[in-house]
């Protein structure tokens, strides 16, 4: 598989219904839960790109543009943003969908940097 094919096939989609266990006291999705899901999506995207071992080293600015109300759905989309030497940047977009209406809108966005580690927990080259 070429690098371009790996980038395309590693695009990762995660869906979740916004049930009460994800909410804050404003009856909207808790920001910390959104960040956790974004980080997981970034990890899965990096892993599916090259199947190496990754840890999170940095998260860039995360912008929460609109609240995510209870009883909606979210879709998280992870994409390769940049492949470095031992690190990789993954962009994660979060889209809000209402259950009984067509369409969706992007409400959160962030970029996460992960580093590939070898068996001695040292940074190692990304091989593809
Ligand atoms: C990941 C870790 C091994 C990197 O160690 P390090 O000494 O910074 O490694 P290096 O200086 O060789 O950098 C490795 C790569 O990470 C990148 N990097 C390091 N710190 C970074 C930061 N704050 N932001 C973005 N990239 C960073 C470097 O640019 C380099 O990328 P490149 O090889 O693609 O050019 C170390 O920071 C670590 O163990 N951190 C904890 C990770 C962890 O436990 N995460 C879970 C969440 S707590």
Residue 67 in domain: yes
Residue 30 domain boundaries: 3-117
Q: Tens place of pLDDT for every residue, the chain, 128 residues? A: 899 999 999 999 999 999 999 999 999 999 999 999 999 999 999 999 999 999 999 999 999 999 999 999 999 999 999 999 999 999 999 999 999 999 999 999 999 999 999 999 999 999 98
CA of 107 to the centre of ligand 1 (A): 28
Q: Output the domain CATH number for residue 86.
A: 3.10.129.10
Question: Which residue's alpha carbon is at the smallest distance from atom 41 of ligand 1?
Answer: 57
CA of 6 to the centre of ligand 1 (A): 23
Predicted TM-score (pTM) of the model is 0.96
Residue 19 in domain: yes
Question: Which residue's alpha carbon is at the smallest distance from atom 19 of ligand 1?
Answer: 57
Token digits for 111?
Answer: 């970029």
Ligand 1, closest atom to CA 87? 34
Angle at 122 between CA 128 and CA 124, to 5 degrees: 15
Number of domains the chain is built from: 1
Residue 100 in domain: yes
The β-bridge partners of 111 are: 91
């Amino acid at each position: 598989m070429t690098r371009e094919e790996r980038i395309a096939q590693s695009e990762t989609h995660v869906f979740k219904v916004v049930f009460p266990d994800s909410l804050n006291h404003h009856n909207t999705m808790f920001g910390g839960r959104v960040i956790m899901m974004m980080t997981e999506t970034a990890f899965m995207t990096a892993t599916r790109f090259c199947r190496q071992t990754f840890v999170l080293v940095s998260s860039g600015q995360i912008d929460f543009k609109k609240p995510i109300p209870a009883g909606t759905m979210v879709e998280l989309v992870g994409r390769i943003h940049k492949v470095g030497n031992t690190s990789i940047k993954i962009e994660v977009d979060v889209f809000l969908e209402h259950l009984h209406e067509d369409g969706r809108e992007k409400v959160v966005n962030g970029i996460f940097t992960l580093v590939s580690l070898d068996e001695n927990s040292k940074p190692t080259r990304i091989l593809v």
